[in-house]
Amino acid sequence: MTHHTHSDHSSPAIVTRGLTRHFTSRKQTVEAVQGLDLEIGQGELVAFLGPNGAGKSTTLRMLTTLIPPTSGTASVAGHDVVTGQKDVRRAIGFVGQGNGAGHRQLGRDELISQGRAYGLSHAESRERAAQLIEDLDLTAVADRKVSSLSGGQRRRLDIAMGLVHVPRVLFLDEPSTGLDPQNRANLQELVRRLHADSGSTVVLTTHYLEEADALADRVIVVDHGRMIADDSAARLKSGLGDLVRLGYDDPSSAARAAARLGRVPESRVDVDGDAVSLRVKDGSRMVGELLADLTADGVPPTRVEVARPTLDDVFLDLTGRSLRETQQAPSPDTDSTEINNEVAA
C-alpha cells in the first residue's frame, strides 16, 4: 500500500487509530470497519471508494459522531469523536444519504433554521442562507417547498445545509447517488469549487469510480471494512500499467506472439483465443517497439488497442473482483435488523 504524505499545515484534520465498528444483529457480528489507521490533512479532498457494504458510511458516521466506535480512536478538527462530540459537531458539516430538511418548509427557511441551530443570530443566518443560495445555484427554487424540488436541487440544498456554519471539515455521504449524469457532473463541479474556494477539508464516499477519479485528490479504497489502497487516482492507476490488446487472425499466431511477449520485462501476458493482452507500464509508449519486435518475429498483430487503467482495474487487481460487478449484487443485509443505536443529531 502506498501512503500519502502531507507537507503543508501542522495538525491533521482527521486522525484515526485502530478505528473499529462492529454491529451485532441476530447473534451475528458484522465487522463493518476493522482497524482503520488514517490521517487526513487540512484542506484535502478525499474520497472513500468501495462496494456496497465496504464500511464507508459506518466510517463517516463514526467520524461525524453519529455512532461511537467499538474500539480505536478518531479525532476530527482536533477533537476526539467520543469525548469531544460537541466540539466535533460544531466543526463539521455532514450531508448524509437521507436528509434532514423538512419537506413542507421552504428551502430558504430550512437554511435559516439550520444556522440558528448552530448558534448564528437571525441576521447572520439570513445572510449566510442568501449567500449559499447564490453559491449553490438555488436562487430560482429557494422560496419553494423542499418537497417540490428535483433530486439535483434537493442535493444542492442538502449541501447548503451542511455548509451553513462554515465547517472546517465537510463530510458528504454518497452525494451524487440517484442523480442523473448531468446533475452528477454539476454536483462534482460544485464540490470542487466549494473546496477550492473555502479551503476546508472535504471527505466524501462514493461507489462511482468516475467520481472518485474526477473529483478527489486522494482516493482511499476500502473493502470488507479495511483500507486496501490510499493514493491519488493517477498514482493508483499508473502503478498498474496500461492494457495493450493485440488481435490475431488465428489462435496459433496469438500463442506464438504471447510466447514472444512473455520476455517483455515487468509485463503480464494473457492469451484469450486469437487475442493477446499485455499489461505493461507505459504501454502507449512501448507499443511501437512491441509492434516492431513482433513484426520482426513474423507475428505482427492485425488489431491493436491500448487502454489506460481505470480505478476498476485497480480494484480488480487488489481484490480479484470488479467494483462494477459488486454493484450489481443486492445487499446481503437487507433483511438484518437495523440496530438502533444512533445518537440523535
Binding-site ranges for ligand ATP (CB under 6 A): 23, 25, 30, 32, 50, 52-58, 207, 333, 336, 338-339
Phi, psi angle pair for 33, to nearest 5°: -135, 130
CB 250 to ligand ATP: min, Å? 45
Strands 226-231, 242-247: pairing is unpaired
Residue whose CB is less far from ligand ATP, 30 or 264: 30
Distance of closest approach, residue 52 Cβ to ligand ATP, in angstroms: 3
CB 206, min distance to ligand ATP, A = 8
CB of 197 to ligand ATP, least distance (A): 28
Decide: helix, strand or coil at residue 109.
helix
Q: For the CB of residue 309, give the shortest distance to ligand ATP in the complex, in Å.
A: 23
Please, what is the minimum distance in Å from the beta carbon of residue 26 to ligand ATP? 9
Q: In terms of CB distance, is 97 or 183 closer to ligand ATP? A: 97
Residue keyed to cell 471494512: 225
Cell matching residue 166? 462554515
CB of 46: closest distance to ligand ATP in angstroms?
15
Closer CB to ligand ATP, 55 or 283, in the complex:
55
| C-alpha torsion sign, points 69, 75, 76, 80 | positive
Query: From the CB of 207, what's the least distance to ligand ATP, in Å?
Result: 5
- Closer Cβ to ligand ATP, 56 or 108, answer by number: 56
Cβ closest to ligand ATP, residue 197 vs residue 338: 338
C-alpha cell at 177: 447517488
Q: Supply φ then ψ for residue 174, to 5 degrees.
A: 45, 60
Task: Tell me the one-letter amino acid at 27.
Answer: K
Q: CB-based contacts of 227: which residues, under 8 Å, 6+ apart?
A: 1, 36, 37, 38, 220, 221
CB of 28 to ligand ATP, least distance (A): 9
In the complex with ligand ATP, the residue whose CB is nearer, 114 or 205, is 205
Nearest to 36 by CA among 78, 5, 9, 75: 75
CA of residue 122 relative to chain centroid, distance = 35
Q: What whole-number distance in Å separates Cα of residue 159 and Cα of residue 144?
A: 17
Taking the least distance from each CB to ligand ATP, the nearer of 56 and 128 is 56
Considering the complex, state which of residue 47 and residue 278 has its C-beta at the smaller distance from ligand ATP. 47
3-state secondary structure 208-226: CHHHHHHHCCEEEEEECCE
Nearest CB to ligand ATP, comparing residues 25 and 302: 25
Sequence-distant (≥ 6) Cβ neighbours of residue 10 within 8 angstroms: none
Burial 296-334 (b: 16+ CB within 10 A, else e): eeebbbeeeebeebbbbbbbbbbbeeebeebeeeeeeee
